[in-house]
Structure 1
C-alpha cells in the first residue's frame, strides 16, 4: 500500500527524502537507495505501508535481546527494503528484492498480539524496519494507545536521521542495533553506508529505551582484536551495561569469505569484556551464553539454546542485590 513519506523536502521537480542519512534526491518514477521510496505524480511515497513479507513467533532471545523480557516470545514481522547493501546479508531476498506480501493493518496487529501464548508484544525485524518507517511509527503508536504494557521492539541497522528517530522513540521499549564495524572504510565497502550516523543512533536510543548491540564478525574484514576493542570502548562510553552480541559470520549472498574462526570470536569476546559487563557470542553452538552478576558472579539467567530459565527478580541479583540491566 502506498503512503506519503513523513520526512522529505521538495526540491523543484524532485523530492529529497529525509528518513535516513542517504537523504536521497528522487526523480519521478525513480527509487531511493532503499528501493521503497519513490515519486508518483510529484509526491514522495513509500510503497510498503502495512505490507508484511515475513512473520513468525520467536523467542525474544532470537532478536537477539538477552536482557529484555527473558524467556518470553514475541510476534516478529517484516516487510521489504533496506538502506544498506551489506554483502553478507542474511535476508537479502526481502531486503534487496520485492517479495510477495500480505497487508496487515495496525488494528490486525492489536488483535493478534494477545492471542499468542507467552507473548510480550511485536518486533519489527527481518528487513530494515526503519525503511518501513511510516507503518512502524503509526502501528507502534496505536499499539501503545491500546495497551501501554505491550512491548514494541525494533531490530535495526540504526541508519536513520535524528528527527524521524525522535518521533518514533516514545513508542519503543527495546532495540537491537547492528554496529556493523568500527571504520568508515568497512561501512562504505561492505554496507554502502557510513559509521557516524549509527553511533549517533546508539547514543540517542540509550537515553530512551533498552538497547543491545550486535556485531557480525566477518573473517578478514572486521574481526581484528583492535576493532573489537574499539567497538567495546565506544559502547562503554555510552553505557557499560549495554549487552554486546558478537556473532559468527557464514558465507552468504555476495560475501564468500570463510566462516569466522570460533577462536577469533572468543578472543574478541574476552577483549570486549575488559570494557563491558555483558558480552555474548552468537551463531556458535555450545558456548556459555548465560548471564552472570557482574559483581558477585551469581547465575542470573541460564540459556540452553533458546530455552531460558530466569533466576533474577526486579532487576537485582538475588545474591548480592547488585542492580543489573535486565528488564523482566
Structure 2
C-alpha cells in the first residue's frame, strides 16, 4: 500500500515576470507582485525560485460529509450528501469572515489531513456522496488541487461543487469551471464601497464571474449574500442587487440571504434580525427572482421551494431535512411547470447529518 504524502510545493501556470524582477500572480484580480520568497495575500501562493508555486497541494484543514443544502445549494441534487474540504488561506480579507480560523490561517501545520485527488474521489464514492465540495476557504487559491480532484471525481461519476467568492481572473476561471458541475458564489454586497473597505476586493470582477458561469458554462449556479446590519442591508442596495440578478442572470438563479453573526474583525455588529432576511427575500421575489431563501435561521416557509407558476409547495425544508417532495421529472406535480435545477427523480435522505471523515495521509 502506497501512502500519499503531500508535496511541499506544486508549480503553477498563472503568473508572469515583471520588468522590476518581481513576479505577478495572475490567479485573481489582486495581482500580487512578489519578490523572491514572498507569499501573496492568500499565503499559499509564493514566489519561489522565480516562479509562483502552490504550497498547500494535497493538504486540507479537514474533511466532512455535509448535506448539499449546507453549501447552500437548494436546487442541485436535494437531500444528497457532499464530501466537503478546504485548505488554508484566502484571496480576500473579509472583516466578517465566518471561517476566519481556516481562511486567515498562516500556519501550514494546521493542514493535518493529507489526501491525493484520487483518494478524495474514491472516498466520496465509497461513502455514497453524490458530489465533492471545494469549500471552507476559497478554491480559487487551491486551483490546481481542486481541478485535479474534480477530474478524478468526474472519472468516477462524482459531481464537483465550488463554493467561492468568485474573485478570479478570466483564464483560470475558464480552466476551473470546465470541471465544476455546480457553484454557490458569495455575492457579498452590491456596492464598491463594501467590497473595497470590508473585503479588500472589488465588485466588478465578481459580477463578471457570475455572468461567465451563467452564460458561458453548464454549471448550475446559486448565490449567497450574508446580510450584515447597516452594511449591505438597505432596501436600495437590495433592490439594485436583485434587479441586476434578474436582468443579467435571469429569474432562475436562486438567491440565499443568510444571517450574520459577529465574528473575526466585526464583533461589534449585532446578529442579523430575521426581518432583514425576509425583507431581502421579499424584494428578490418582487423583482423577478423565482427562488429566494433565508439561511442560518429556522424559517421553514422561507427555506422551502415553491412553483413559480402556481405557487404550490415543491420541496419542503425543515433546516436541512426534506419533508415534502412534489416534483415529477423536475416539474411541478400540480401544474406541470418545470422547476429550474438539477434533480434526480427522487430526493436523497441524508438530512441534516454532518459526519467528519478521517483522511490523514489517505492512500
TM over 0.5: yes
Match of 1:38 in 2: 46
Q: Which residue number in structure 1 is paired with residue 113 of structure 2?
A: 102
Residue 293, structure 1, aligned to residue 303, structure 2: no
Instruction: Please identify runs of 4+ aligned residues in structure 1 that moved more than 4 A.
Output: none
| Larger displacement relative to structure 2 (26-35 or 98-107) | 98-107
Paired position in structure 2 for 1:115: 126
Q: Is it true that 1:327 corresponds to 2:342 in the alignment?
A: yes
Q: CA deviation at 1:127?
A: 0.7
- Match of residue 96 from structure 2: 88
Structure 2 counterpart of 1:217: 227
What does the per-residue CA deviation read over 1:6-51, in whole Å, with 9 as the maximum and x for residues that have no partner?
2111224221111001111111111111111111122211101111
- Which is worse superposed, 159-168 or 282-291? 282-291
- Residue 281 (structure 1) aligned with residue 291 (structure 2): no
CA distance in 2, matches of 1:201, 1:101: 32
Q: Which runs of 5+ in 2 are unaligned?
A: 1-7, 344-363
Corresponding residue to 2:151 among 135, 138, 141: 141
Q: Secondary structure at the match of 1:200?
A: helix
Aligned residues: 325
Partner of 2:339, secondary structure, is: coil
Do the aligned partners of 1:36 and 1:48 also contact (CA within 8 Å) in 2?
yes
- Is the Cα contact below 8 Å between 2:64 and 2:83 reproduced in 1? yes
Corresponding residue for 2:198?
190
CA 219–240 in structure 1, closer or farther in 2 if over 3 Å, else same: same
Following the alignment from structure 2 to structure 1, what is the Cα–Cα distance between the partners of residues 341 and 282? 21
**Deviation larger for 310-319 or 235-244:** 310-319
What does 1:241-256 align with in structure 2 at a 5 Å threshold?
A: 241-255=252-266, 256=268
Looking at structure 2, the residues matched to 105 and 180 of structure 1 have their Cα atoms a distance apart, in angstroms, of 32
| Cα distance in 1 for residues equivalent to 2:178 and 2:279 | 37
| 8 Å CA contact retained: 1:2, 1:45 | yes
Q: Say which SS state the counterpart of residue 332 (structure 2) adopts.
A: coil
Q: Which residue of 2 aligns with 1:9?
A: 16
Per-residue CA deviations over 1:129-182 (Å, capped at 9, x if unaligned) read 1111111112212321x23x3110000000001111111112110000000000
TM-score, reference length from structure 1: 0.96
Q: Distance in 2 between matches of 1:226 and 1:302?
A: 31
| Deviation sequence 1:248-271 (CA, Å, 0-9, x none) | 111011102111221122112111
Q: 1:60-80 CA distances to partner (integer Å, 9 max, x unpaired)?
A: 000000000001110001101
- Which residue in 2 is equivalent to 1:303? 317
Higher relative contact order (CA 8 A, sep 6+): 2
Alignment of 1:71-86 (within 5 A): 71-86=79-94
Q: Please state if 1:25 is matched with 2:33.
A: yes
